[in-house]
Every structure is written in structure tokens, then in C-alpha cells.
Amino acid sequence: MKKLIERATKNVKDEYKVRILIDPEESDILSSGIIPKNIKTNVYKSHLGIYIELIGKAEDVMRTEIDIRRALIADYTKKCGKATAKT
């Protein structure tokens, strides 16, 4: 994971943005403490679900995005009891 982030951050500006689409039932991610204080968040609602936009330093945003996706997968596997692909 460290090499992946290093490669991705070589040519990135100071501010990096990522949008993550989540299910409205998973909106407790914002209050769960996964997102650090140094990352700005914007939340958008759409007909598909909720978009969380993460804005900050590239390395911090990428780590947070990976943590959020892992938490979503772990939560999904607990609810459904099914195995999913690893991230």
C-alpha cells in the first residue's frame, strides 16, 4: 500500500480531492472517527446515495479513502455473512 501511495502522490498538487459514493444507511461514517481532522469533507446527496468528498493532502486523503472502503466492506460482510474481494 505504501508504494502505491508513493507512486500516486509523485505528480499530485497540494490539494487532492476524492469522492466516495456510499449508501444512505452507511452515513454514520462521518461521525465514526475514520476521517481525520486535517481532511475537509463535503457531503452531497444524489438519487444514487450520498457522496463524501475528501479534500486535503494527497497521502492523507488516499489513506482515509482506503480506510473508509475497508470499513464499508467489513460492515457489509458482517451484515450479509458473505465473503467479498479484498482491497
Residues in the chain, total:
87
CB contact set of 24 (below 8 Å; sequence gap of 6+): 49, 50
Count of domains observed in the chain? 1
Residue-wise pLDDT tens digits, 24-78: 877 678 788 888 999 999 999 989 889 999 999 888 888 899 998 888 888 777 7
* 23 part of a folded domain: yes
CATH code, 52: 3.30.1370.10
Question: What is the pTM (predicted TM-score) of this model?
Answer: 0.72
Measured distance CA(53)–CA(59) in Å, rounded: 15
* 86 part of a folded domain: no
* 87 part of a folded domain: no
pLDDT at position 26 is 72
When pLDDT is averaged across residues 12-17 and rounded to a whole number, the result is 75
Measured distance CA(16)–CA(46) in Å, rounded: 22
* 73 part of a folded domain: yes
